[in-house]
A = this chain, B = another copy of it.
Amino acid sequence: MHYQFANRINQLQGSPLRENAKRNMEAKDVISFAYGYPSIDAFPMETLKTISERMYTEFDPESFLQYGASEGLPELRELVKQRIAKQSAIASDDDLMIVSGSTQAMDLVIKVLCNEGDVVLCEEQTFSGAVNAIKGYGAKAVPVPMNVDEECIDTKVLEELLAKDTEHRIKLLYLIPTFQNPLGTSIPLEKRQEIYAIAKKYGLLIFEDDPYGDLLYFGDAIPKMKSFDTDDLIIYAGSFSKILAPSTRLGFVMAPPAIFEKLVLAKQVSDSHTNFYWQVLLTEFMKNYDFEQHVSYLKELYREKLTVMLEELAKLPQDAIHYIEPTGGYFICCELAEDVDEEAFLDYLFDHKVIVIPGNIMSVAGKGYEKFFRLNFTKPTIEDIRLGIQQMQDAISFARVEQVSKAI
């Protein structure tokens, strides 16, 4: 079924698996909740324009057009370290490298840590790019079941898997602890500490992927796992895709020294370094302009969109659809009730040009999540959020009739 939906999406806007970045997704009459894109209003055009002009007139051309260090611009690396120390209480001595999005951080980490046949544990629903990175090096992505009520993987299963791994094939645990993709959930502090204690006991490395971490809309921030990494077990990756612009491909990775050295070599071999025009521009933005104010603006923008989507979802029959209300990030994940035929539901939506991502696409096993679908609320307009979610009312009715018809 998953493929069938993939094909349907394909017809409308290209495969979400292979071309999750297709431009043509915004045909005028399509309402897309599909991809994790920032809003068209999210780009700080005036500031970018001002800094860019200054760079081309006042800056040494070699500072942003010549080859640069594989680790990235030293000043930017320091600014990012200071920023995550301040924003996320991460006061690690670990070194930090600028990479081409946190996607590249994961790709390099798998290259450096895994051989063919090695295992990376993942949340059972997770970012498909990470799973593809794991598979790309011949390693195995093994799902750890979720305890959805706890917004966390089942820590008992985690410990059992590690205890049984006498050959040490498990090389890494991949987690998106904050505003998870696709679930929108955040692992509570005590669960983060519990996972860390297990990792410590078994010497397990953890990749803490945090591309959405800045985008907290409600409540208090939960400390990053990296903030209590006393034992050099956590590789922490972040991104500017969601808070500056995805096209810039600016992300970073912070890793314990032994791993960091290898990551730098892998980065150099992979693409020499990340674009320096953008590294210099972001440095200026963070140093001399209103970067934090821009992030605050984004939080306002997306808080409103999330609020509207939750309002509209609340109007749907709550016995037909279940979702956890996220406190930040990009996504809401929904699960359909047993009596709602998922195929009919999604067919109805697609036929009415409302696009969502079916759950199996973000499932490590590629199956078992037929009843789930993911909604992005940052890219669509407020009006489209209202219209699109309202369509689900009829989609649910249609899909309930289908379910009954099938049983007859």
Contact = CB atoms under 8 A, between A and B. Distances in A.
A369 interface: no
Nearest to A138: B115
Contacts of A273: 21, 247, 249
B68 A43 contact: no
Contacts of A104: 270-271
A132 interface: yes
Interface string A83-119: 0000000000000000111011001000100001000
A265 interface: yes
Contacts of A64: 247
21 contacts: A18-B268, A19-B69, A20-B67, A21-B68, A22-B69, A23-B68, A40-B61, A43-B61, A45-B56, A45-B61, A65-B246, A65-B248, A66-B247, A67-B246, A99-B271, A116-B116, A132-B265, A132-B268, A248-B275, A275-B278, A277-B277
A21 to B, nearest CB: 4
Given A20-B67, A20-B272, A67-B241, 20 more contacts: A21-B68, A21-B272, A23-B66, A35-B67, A37-B67, A40-B62, A49-B53, A66-B245, A68-B247, A103-B269, A103-B270, A104-B271, A116-B116, A129-B272, A247-B273, A247-B276, A247-B277, A248-B275, A249-B275, A275-B275
Main secondary structure on A side of the interface with B: helix
Contacts of A132: 265, 268-269
A123 B24 CA distance: 43
Contacts of A155: none
A269 B129 CA distance: 6
A268 B49 CA distance: 29
A328 interface: no
Interface in A55-91: 56-57, 61-62, 64-70
Contact of A247 (B35, B48, B49, B275): B275
